[in-house]
Structure 1
Amino acid sequence: MRKTDKKYDKAIREALTEVCELTMENIAGFEWLTHEVNYQRFPQSLIVRLMFKDQQTLASFKRSDDYQAVLNDIQTRLTAAGVTLKNINQHIELDTL
């Protein structure tokens, strides 16, 4: 990993940690989030995976206004960290335990 990649990775982790903590406080059934990235294809390869307790809570989240609010929060914090994504929806995956 190049020095630049390490800086981006640290900034991404810090931004997503903030989102994760807020989401855990406000969204029932949300467990954690994680990310994957291939820095040779960055930022297009960035995937943020949100994990939920079960299929019911995931489906409820997708139908709620909170869904877009969380995506907007992720995009805003990543942009502030220097990571610009054209369409945040292409970088989000939802899953269950």
Structure 2
Amino acid sequence: MRKTDKKYDKAVREALTDVCELTMEKVEGFEWLTHEVNYQRFPQSLIVRLMFKDRQTLASFERSDDYQVALNDIQSRLAAVGITLKNINRHVELATL
């Protein structure tokens, strides 16, 4: 990993940690989030995966206003550290354990 890759990785982790903690407080059934990225194609390759305890809570979240709030929060916190995503919907996935 190059020095700039490490810098971006640290910024992504810190931004997403804040989002994770906030979402855990607000959304029942949310367990954690994780990310994966290929730094050769950054930021286009960044995927943020929100994990839920089961399909029912995932589906409920997806239909709620909290889903859009989480998307906006991810996008704005990443933007605050200099990472711009054109279409946040392409970078966020929902999954169950």
If the length of structure 1 is used for normalisation, what is the TM-score? 0.99
* Structure 1 position 65 matched with structure 2 position 90: no
| Aligned position for 2:42 | 42
Aligned-partner Cα distance in 2 for 1:80–1:5: 17
Return the offset for 1:81. 1.0
| Aligned position for 1:18 | 18
Paired residues in the alignment total: 97
| Aligned position for 1:85 | 85
Q: Deviations over 1:58-96 (max 9, x none)?
A: 000000000000000000000001110000000001000
| Aligned position for 1:95 | 95
Return the offset for 1:11. 0.3
If the length of structure 2 is used for normalisation, what is the TM-score? 0.99
> Identity over the aligned pairs, expressed in percent?
84
Aligned-partner Cα distance in 1 for 2:48–2:82: 16
Structure 1, unpaired ranges of 5+? none
Return the offset for 1:53. 0.6
Aligned-partner Cα distance in 2 for 1:15–1:34: 11
Aligned-partner Cα distance in 2 for 1:66–1:59: 12
Aligned-partner Cα distance in 2 for 1:67–1:79: 18
| Aligned position for 2:8 | 8
Structure 2, unpaired ranges of 5+? none
